[in-house]
A and B are shown apart, each in its own frame.
Chain A
Amino acid sequence: DQQVKQNSPSLSVQEGRISILNCDYTNSMFDYFLWYKKYPAEGPTFLISISSIKDKNEDGRFTVFLNKSAKHLSLHIVPSQPGDSAVYFCAASALFSGSARQLTFGSGTQLTVLP
């Protein structure tokens, strides 16, 4: 039962263009969403997040959009750079055990930015 899905295993984009990575979720209890970037043999690096009370959050070249009615979020990277090439994970967060949060991850999208 995959509660968080990233349906595109890979994406290739030309340098300077926009990269759009998509993520769908099923559990209505999720109220906080995060994107992580991961290089081989390293741990995930936090990129950007969004609360369920918002529909957009921007941080430099990265923007995350949340559509609660569709249970869909996306990460936009503009402009894309070769250094952005990595696996991107979408994660959804729900409260448990008081104020602690458990992350549920998608299976990741390999982004390749071509020079």
Chain B
Amino acid sequence: DTGVSQDPRHKITKRGQNVTFRCDPISEHNRLYWYRQTLGQGPEFLTYFQNEAQLEKSRLLSDRFSAERPKGSFSTLEIQRTEQGDSAMYLCAVEPGGWETQYFGPGTRLLVL
């Protein structure tokens, strides 16, 4: 099963507040990815985990962003001091070992006012 759940599905916050999103793969997957999608664009890569190790980060991931995967299962993405430009859909994806295909969760839509 390649299912992925994400929580919350929607988040509205005021500029300057901190927000945290969670990604829960239904079954164990070594590889987990975070992407961000803004209106009219395709998803853009943010970061990648191999088990609990964060092995790659995009230059899009400013120092206000932090991601963790403490036990190699679920993952969290935190944005500190949110800005209006952070408004986007944040997507989590998993890649079953050897499949070369990433499967996405439903996403968390963030609106920063």
Interface residues of A (CB under 8 A from B): 4, 32, 34, 36, 41-46, 49, 51, 89, 91, 93, 96-98, 100-108
Q: How many A-B residue pairs have CB under 8 A?
A: 71
Residues of A within 8 A of B109 (CB): 41
Q: A102-B56, A106-B42, A107-B40 are in contact. Are A97 and B50 (CB under 8 A)?
A: yes
CA separation between A89 and B6, bound complex, in Å?
Answer: 21
Q: Which 9 pairs of residues, A with B, have the shortest CB-CB distance?
A: A105-B42, A43-B104, A43-B107, A97-B55, A43-B106, A44-B104, A89-B42, A102-B45, A97-B56
The range of chain B's interface size is 20 to 34
Q: How far, in whole Å, are A103 and B103 apart by their CA atoms in the complex?
A: 11
Q: How far is the CB of A109 from chain B (nearest CB, A)?
A: 10
**Could you tell me if B102 and A103 are in contact, using CB atoms closer than 8 angstroms?**
yes
Q: Is the CB of A32 within 8 A of B105?
A: no
Interface centre among A36, A41, A103 (most CB of B within 10 A): A103
Interchain CA distance A2-B44 in the complex, whole Å:
11
Is the beta-carbon distance between B42 and A102 smaller than 8 angstroms? no
| Residue in A34, A91, A100, A107 with the greatest tally of chain B CB atoms within 10 Å | A100
Q: List, in ascending order, chain B residues with CB within 8 A of A41's CB.
A: 106-107, 109
Q: Which residues of A contact B33 (CB under 8 A)?
A: 102-103
Q: B72: which A residues are within 8 A, CB to CB?
A: none
What are 10 of the A-B contact pairs (CB < 8 Å)? A36-B104, A42-B106, A43-B4, A43-B105, A44-B91, A45-B104, A89-B43, A100-B31, A102-B45, A102-B48
Say yes or no: A91 contacts B42, CB within 8 Å. yes
Q: Determine the residue in chain B with the shortest Cβ distance to A6.
A: B42
- Most chain B beta carbons < 10 A, residue from A44, A89, A93: A44
